[in-house]
Chains A and B, each alone.
Chain A
Amino acid sequence: MSAVSVQAIVGAAPSPIEAPDVDYATISPLLIILGAAVLGVLVEAFVPRAYRFVTQIAVAVVGVVAAFVATVVVGAGLDTVDGEVTGRGGPTAMGSLSVDGPAVVTWAMLLFFGLLGVLLFAERRLDGGLSAFTSQASTPPGSADERHATRLRIEHSEVFPLAMFALGGMMFFASANDLLGMFVALEVLSLPLYLMCGLARRRRLLSQEAAMKYFLLGAFSSAFFLYGIAMVYGYAGSFGLAEISTAVSSQIGGQNLLLAGMALILVGLLFKVAAVPFHAWTPDVYQGAPTPVTAFMAAGTKAAAFVAMLRIFFVAFGGARWDWAPAVWAIAIITMLFGAIASIAQTDVKRMLAYSSIAHAGFLLVGMAGLTSGDGVTSVSAVLFYLVAYGAAAIGAFAVVTLVRDAGGETTHLGRWAGLGKESPVLAVAFTIFLLSFAGIPLTGGFISKWSVFAAAWDGGAWPLVVVGVVASALALFFYIRVVVLLFFAPPQGDGPTVAVPSPLTWSVVAITVAVTIVLGVLPGPLLDLVQQAGAFVR
C-alpha cells in the first residue's frame, strides 16, 4: 500500500478546517421531510391525544407535498453536465450528496410512494374507527392492558413521524455521494421501518416476530455493508464515490481489498432489495408487518436501495465493472427463477406478493447489466421506470389486501379470496390489473418496465439474462393468471370474502395506483422521457 493513503488514514498533517458551504435550496426536499418528521415528534409531545392523529396526518401530507414541490423546482433547475456521459446536476453539500437527475427523479418517486403510504396509514374506517396500528405497542398481546388501551381508543400516531424519518432516509440513501453518508442513510431508513413492522393491530405476535427478524437480520446485513465500506476505504483512502472511482480506474493496487469490499457492500444492498440468497426475511416480514407498512416498505425500500446500488456500482466501481458484473448476473438469474417458482407454491396473498417482490428484484438486477450511457435505454432509466411501475402496483396490491377481511381482520389466505370478483368486482378488477402488471402483460406499466430492463440488458450484451428473464416472467405469469381465475371464477369458500368499506383515503390509493399502472402501460411516453432526460449519475 502506498504511503499516500496511509497518510490519509493517520492524518499526519493537520489542515485547518474550513466552514462547509451548503446549498440549502438544492437539498430542501430532504430538509423538508426531515423537518416534518421532527415536527411530528413535537406534535406527539404536545398536541392533545384527541387531535393528535389528525394533526400528524396534516403534518405528514403537507410535508410530503411541499417536498414534492421543492423536488420539482430543484429538478427543473438542474444544469446539464456534459462529460464522458450526459448528466444533470451534481454534487452538493461538500460532495456528500449528489443531486443529479436520477436522484431527483428518485426523490419524486419516493415522495409519491410516501404520500400513498401516508394515505394508507391514515385509514381508520376498516377496523371500527381504529387505524391498522396497535393501540399501545408496550402492552402484551392479548392482555387486559391491551383491551383497555383499545377501549380508550389510544393510537400510535408515531407511525407518521417514523414514516417521515424512513422517507428522509430513503431520499438520502438514493442521493448520498459517499459511503459513510450512505451508511447513515441506510440506518435512518431502516430503524423506523423495523419499528413500524411490529405495530400491527391484529396478529400482533406475528407482527412482533416480523419486526424482530427484520431488525436482527437488518443489523446483520448492515454489518456486512459497514465492513465492506471499511475495506473500500482501506483500498481507496476515501469514502467519496468520486475518489473511489479514481482509485479504481487507476488500479492503485490492493485489488483483493477492493474486491472483498465490493462483495460485502453488495451483500448489504442485496439484502435491502431482497435478492436471493439474501431474501429470506422478505416473506416473513411482508406477511407479519401491518399491510400499509408492507406497502410503503415494498415500494420505497426497493427503490431507494436500487438507486443507491446503481450509484455505488456505476459511479464508484464503474471501472471494475467486469469484476462485479458476473456476480450480479448470477444473482439476477437465481433471484428471478427462485422468486417466480417459489411464488407458485404460495397460498398466502402477502407471502405471494413478497415472492413476487423477490422476483422483481431479479428483473431489476437484469436492468443493472445494461449500458450506463447512450441514446437508447440505459440501465438507469430502465431501472427508474421499473421502480415507479412496480412500486405503484405493489402499493395498490397491498392496499387491496387491507380491504379483504373477515372477523379476524385481513384475510390473506388465497382460498378465502375465491369469488372476490362477485363480492366486489371493482376491487377484483383492480387487483387483477396489479397482478397483470407484475406479470408484465402488455398495456400495463409492468410490460413497459420489463421490456425496458430487458432492452437495456440486451443492449449491454447480457442476452443470457434476458432469455432467463423472459422464461421467468413466463413462469410467473402462469401463477398470476391462476390467481385471477381464482378471484373471478372459483366458487367462494363459505360466505366468501368480505370487503370492508374503506374511507376515500384507501379508495384514492387504489384508484391512483390503478391509473398509474394503466397510464404507464398505454402512454408511457412522458415518464420514459423523464427518466431518459435524467441522464446518468453525476459524481
Chain B
Amino acid sequence: MTSMSSIVLAASEHADVVPVAADGVFSWMWLLVAIPAVSAAILLIGDGAGDHGPLDRFGHLLGTAAAIASFVVGVVGFVALLGQDVAERAVTQDLWTWMQVGGFDVTMSVYYDQLSALFVLLITGVGSLIHVYSIGYMAHDPRKRRFFGFLNLFIAAMLVLVLAGDYLVLFLGWEGVGLASYLLIGFWQEKRSAAVAAKKAFIVNRVGDLGLALGIMLMFAQFGTTNIHEVGLNVTNASQSVATALGLLLLLGACGKSAQVPLQSWLLDAMEGPTPVSALIHAATMVTAGVYLVVRSAAIYDLSEVARTAVVIVGCVTLLFGAWIGCAKDDIKKALAGSTMSQIGYMMLAAGLGPAGYAFAIFHLITHGFFKANMFLGAGSVMHGMNDDVDMRHYGALRKLMPLTFITFAMGYLAIIGFPGFSGFFSKDRIIESAFATNFWAGLAALLGAGVTAFYMTRVMILTFFGERRWREDVHPHESPKIMTVPLIVLAALSVVGGALTFSDWIEDWLTPVTGSEHHELGVPAWVITLIIVAVVAVGASLAYVLFARRDVPDTAPQQVSVFTRAGRADLYGDAVNEAVFMRPGQYLTRSLVYVDGTGIDGAVTGTAELVGDGARGLRRLQTGFVRTYAAEIFGGALVLVLALLAVNLA
C-alpha cells in the first residue's frame, strides 16, 4: 500500500493511433451537432414577434426532439463503432478547411473515437432526459422556448467540444458551452443574485480560458499545428519544458471549466440557474470538460511529470475542498454543488495519474454524470413540491409524500457514497486503488474524501427525507408529474447499473487505444483496499446518522459553530480571496478609468451605477472634453516617445 512507485512511462501507445477517414454511418456524425444547433437557431431567432406563436407553444417539444434525435445518431454511431476493428475506431471526417496560412491549417473535422463516443452518449443521453424533465419543470415559465433554445445551444457546443479534432475547434466549443452556461445561469435575470452569479461564472471562466488560449498559441508556435493528433505526435520530440508549460496551461483551462481550486468559486453561485441546468451543465457534462481536456491531451501529460503532479494536487485539494463545503451547506443545491466539485476532483486526481488513471477518470465521469444528474433532478423535484425553497432545514419527512423522488434519490445517494454494487462503488474504488498504487498521500486524500462524502450525503438524505416535518405553513409537498419522474427513474436505474461498464475491464480496454494503459501493483490485494474504503464510508455515514437523525434539526442554522463549519459555509473564503486578489484591483482600475472618462456617463443601466457614480462625481481628469487637455496629452505622449527612443539609443 505504501508503494511510492516511480512513474516511468512506456512510449505512449495512443500516438500510434492512425485516424481513418469516415465512411458509411460515420460520415453522418456531423448531424450530432447540426440537429441541436439548427433547433437552437430556430428557437432563439425564429418568429420573434408573437408571444403565443406556434413556436412558443411547441418550441419545447422541438428542442426535446432535437436532443433525442442527436442521441439516436449517437447510439447508431456507437453501435457502428463497436463493429469496427480496434485499429479503425478513430474515425475522422473533414468538413471544410477553416483556415489555412502557409503550412498551418485548421480543418473543421469531426473526430469520432472511443472517448468521444462515450461522451456523445453521455451528453445526448443525459441531455435528452433533462430536456424531458424540463418540459415539466419549466411548464409555467413564460420564456421556456428560450430556455430550450439555450439548452440546445449548449448540447451543440458541448458536442463540438468533444468531437473536435483540433484544439482551435475545441476552443470554439469551449467558448460555446461557456456562453450557454452564462446565459442559463442568468436565465432568471430578474433575480439580482442570478445575474451576479452569471457574471461571476463568466469572469472566472475567462481566467481559465486564458490558459487554454495561451496553451493553443504555444502549440502553434512550437509545432506549427493545433491538430490534437499531430500535437500528440510532435510533443514527443519537444523538450520537457514545453510539455510542462503546455500541461500547466491546459490545466489552468481545465480548472476554470471544471471548477477546480483555485478557480472553483463560480460553481456554487451557478446554482442560481434553473435546476435542470445545474443537473446538465453544472454536474453531468460541462464541468467535466476539464477532465476531458486533460484525458484528450494525454500525450502531453505523459511527457511531463510536473504537469501530472500539478493535476494530482489540484484534484486532491479540490476533492477535499468540495467535500468540506458540502458538509456545511444548508442549501440542497449548494451541498450538491460542493459534492460535484469534490467528485470532479476525483476525476482530476485519476487523470493526473497518467495512463494508469485516464480510463478510471472517464469511468467515474460517466457514473457521476448519471447519479449526480439524478440527484440534482431529484432536488429539483423536491423544490418543485416545496415552493422552490432550497433550505434543507425546511424539509424533512418527505419520503412518504414523494416516494418516487425519494427512491430515485436514494439510488443516487447509494451510488455516490459507493455502496457496494452501485455504480459509484466501482468507479470510486478504482480511482482510490490506483491513487494508492501511485502515491500514498493521494490515495489517503481520496480515501478521506470518500468518508466525508458519505457523511455529507447522508446528512442531505436525512435532512430532506427523514426526521420531523419542518415545512413552512403554506407548503404542500407533492410528488412531481410523470414527465419529471420518468427521467428520474431512468437515471436512477443507470446509477445502479452503470458500474457494469467495468465488468471484465470493458471500459479500460475500450479506452486503451486513446489513453494508453498501465497497471501499478499494489502492495496488498485489491480486496483489502476495497474493504477499507467500505469501512471508511460506513463510518462517515454512521457519524451523520448519529449527528442528524438522532437529534432535532434547528430551523435556522446555528451561529455558534466550529471554525470549520463557518469556513465551509463561507465557501472556504474563496470569494474573499478572489475579492482581495482580483476584484478590488479590477474595480479600482475601472473606477480610475471611469474617472478618466467623465464624459457622457450617468451610469443608469449597465449595472455599474454605484461604481460609475463615484467617478463621475470626481474631477474629470483626462477625458475632459477640452481640446487643450487632449493636445497636452498628445504633446506629453510625444515627448515621452521621443525621449524613450533616444534613451534606448543612449543605453
Contact = CB atoms under 8 A, between A and B. Distances in A.
Contacts of B45: 425, 429
Interface string B552-595: 00000000000000000000000000000000000001100110
A267 B594 CA distance: 25
Contacts of B546: none
Mostly, the A contact residues are helix
B210 interface: yes
Given A259-B645, A458-B217, A481-B202, A347 B175 contact: no
B599 interface: yes
Interface stretch (B233-241, B372-380, B493-501, B632-640): B632-640
A442 B172 contact: yes
A338 interface: yes
Contacts of B638: 224, 263-264, 267
Contacts of B186: 485, 489
A529 B590 CA distance: 40
A486 to B, nearest CB: 7
Contact of A283 (B104, B182, B599, B629): B599
A383 B103 CA distance: 19
B623 interface: yes
B601 interface: yes
Contacts of A522: 98
A375 interface: yes
A280 B623 contact: yes
Nearest to A271: B634
Chain A CB within 10 Å — which of B101, B171, B589, B648 has the most? B101
Contacts of B631: 216-217, 220
Given A260-B646, A348-B600, A532 B220 contact: no
A221 B627 CA distance: 13
Interface stretch (B310-318, B473-481, B604-612): B604-612
Contacts of B648: 259, 323, 326-327
A287 interface: yes
Interface string A336-348: 0010011011111
Nearest to A461: B221
B633 A277 contact: yes
A243 interface: no
A486 B206 CA distance: 20
Contacts of A441: 175, 179
Interface in B104-132: 104
Nearest to B108: A522
Contacts of B604: 347, 413, 415
Interface in B180-232: 182-183, 186, 189, 199, 202-203, 206-207, 209-210, 213-214, 217, 220-221, 224
A455 B593 contact: no
Interface string A204-227: 000000001100110011001000
A375 B182 CA distance: 39
B189 A528 contact: no
Contacts of B98: 522-525
Nearest to B616: A345
Given A425-B48, A474-B210, A486 B102 contact: no
Contact of A278 (B597, B603, B605, B637): B637
Interface in A170-194: none
B45 to A, nearest CB: 6
B646 A471 contact: no
Interface string A512-536: 0000000000111100110010000
Interface in A249-267: 255-256, 259-260, 262-264, 266-267
A422 B49 CA distance: 7
A281 B627 CA distance: 8
Contact of A415 (B102, B206, B605, B622): B605
A459 interface: yes
A466 B218 CA distance: 10
A283 B186 CA distance: 31
Contacts of A425: 45, 48-49
B577 to A, nearest CB: 20
Contacts of B649: 255-256, 259, 323
Q: Which of A374, A415, A442, A455 has the most CB of B within 10 A?
A: A442
B55 interface: no
A252 B625 CA distance: 44
B615 A267 contact: no
Interface string B63-79: 00000000000000000
A324 interface: yes
A277 B629 CA distance: 12
Nearest to A524: B99
B593 to A, nearest CB: 5
Interface string A453-487: 01100110001001100110011011001100110
Interface in A413-442: 413-415, 418, 421-422, 425, 429, 441-442
Contact of A338 (B210, B593, B594): B593
B220 A458 contact: yes
Contacts of B48: 421-422, 425
B97 interface: yes
B596 interface: yes
A477 B629 contact: no
A376 B224 contact: yes
A263 B641 contact: yes
Contacts of A245: none
A219 B637 CA distance: 16
A88 B389 CA distance: 71
Contacts of A345: 590, 593-594, 597, 601, 608, 611-612, 615
A471 B210 CA distance: 7
A357 to B, nearest CB: 14
A120 to B, nearest CB: 23
A65 interface: no
Contacts of A224: 634, 638
A451 B646 CA distance: 33
B642 interface: yes
A284 interface: yes
Given A281-B630, A377-B101, A458-B220, A341 B637 contact: no
Contacts of A539: none
Contact of A347 (B96, B99, B104, B602): B602
Interface string A483-520: 00110011001000000000000000000000000000
A337 B199 CA distance: 20
B93 to A, nearest CB: 17
B644 interface: yes
A452 interface: yes
A72 interface: no
Contacts of B224: 376
Contacts of B6: none
B100 interface: yes
Contacts of B605: 347, 413-415, 418, 486, 490, 493
Contacts of A302: none
A221 B603 CA distance: 33
B593 A448 contact: no
Given A443-B172, A525-B98, 20 more contacts: A259-B645, A260-B646, A263-B641, A263-B645, A264-B642, A271-B634, A327-B641, A327-B644, A344-B608, A347-B612, A351-B597, A351-B600, A374-B102, A414-B605, A425-B49, A455-B221, A466-B214, A478-B199, A485-B183, A490-B189
16 contacts: A212-B627, A256-B649, A259-B646, A259-B648, A260-B642, A262-B645, A264-B638, A326-B644, A342-B597, A347-B604, A348-B600, A351-B597, A381-B101, A441-B175, A486-B605, A489-B186
Interface of B: 45, 48-49, 96-104, 168, 171-172, 175-176, 179, 182-183, 186, 189, 199, 202-203, 206-207, 209-210, 213-214, 217, 220-221, 224, 589-590, 593-594, 596-597, 599-608, 611-612, 615, 622-623, 625, 627, 629-631, 633-634, 636-638, 641-642, 644-646, 648-649
Top 6 A-B pairs, shortest CB-CB distance: A415-B605, A425-B48, A442-B172, A277-B637, A280-B630, A375-B102
